[in-house]
Chains A and B, each alone.
Chain A
Amino acid sequence: QKEVEQNSGPLSVPEGAIASLNCTYSDRGSQSFFWYRQYSGKSPELIMFIYSNGDKEDGRFTAQLNKASQYVSLLIRDSQPSDSATYLCAVKVGGYGQNFVFGPGTRLSVLP
């Protein structure tokens, strides 16, 4: 069973702080990693994807990947109340087709 794990939270941070979201995965053959944001009652929307070890920055968001440790994280700088949502980590696992495994999500609350 290929698994993706996340802390369910809630993770509470004050406005302006850095929020750090973590994700671990079990399939060493995984090559593609995605972070989706999901507001309550809405569908997931892509924030970032990362393929290579190291950091990838996009505005206030930074994704970090460490394949040796099977760990991927998302940092949100200058957190805003509008960032309050559930963040889903998704991993494209090896094998035929495009099979994605999602983690349970971490609920983030940014306090004004």
Chain B
Amino acid sequence: NAGVTQTPKFRILKIGQSMTLQCTQDMNHNYMYWYRQDPGMGLKLIYYSVGAGITDKGEVPNGYNVSRSTTEDFPLRLELAAPSQTSVYFCASSYSGSGTVAGGPSDLETQYFGPGTRLLVL
């Protein structure tokens, strides 16, 4: 299993440009999340999804959009990039519910993180 993968690893955007951060997981997790992490700070939840077709806002959703058309993919869209969106973005996934899950019962609710996308908006 590749786990959670994110692309790109690094990107520079100009103010007002838009882009999509890609996230894919191959663990058949039903929950997926997008976080941002500013220097010296913890993770702030942007959006999350409890399954294909269902998304909900987190703590800091303004300026972002998401979609979840498949279990595996959860792209994050930035429209009209602003310097305040300069950050490191982490995608994560987890499993909740009954049934088979990689790693066994203790794996429930554990979030697995992708390697992150470093975004600089100038």
Contact = CB atoms under 8 A, between A and B. Distances in A.
- Report if A and B associate in a common complex: yes
Interface of A: 4, 6, 8, 32, 34, 42-46, 49, 88, 90, 92, 96-105
B110 to A, nearest CB: 5
Interface in B63-91: 90
A103 B106 CA distance: 22
A90 B43 CA distance: 9
Interface residues of B, number: 26
B41 to A, nearest CB: 6
Contact of A98 (B42, B48, B90): B48
Given A44-B90, A90-B43, A98-B48, 18 more contacts: A34-B109, A43-B114, A43-B116, A44-B43, A46-B111, A92-B109, A96-B56, A97-B31, A97-B48, A98-B31, A99-B45, A99-B48, A99-B58, A100-B111, A101-B45, A103-B42, A104-B40, A104-B41
A99 B57 CA distance: 10
Nearest to B44: A102
Nearest to A43: B113
B107 to A, nearest CB: 10
Contacts of A44: 43, 90, 111, 113
Given A46-B111, A98-B96, A88 B43 contact: yes
B60 to A, nearest CB: 12
Contacts of B61: none
A62 to B, nearest CB: 17
Nearest to B95: A98
A49 B110 contact: yes
B10 to A, nearest CB: 11
Contacts of B112: 46
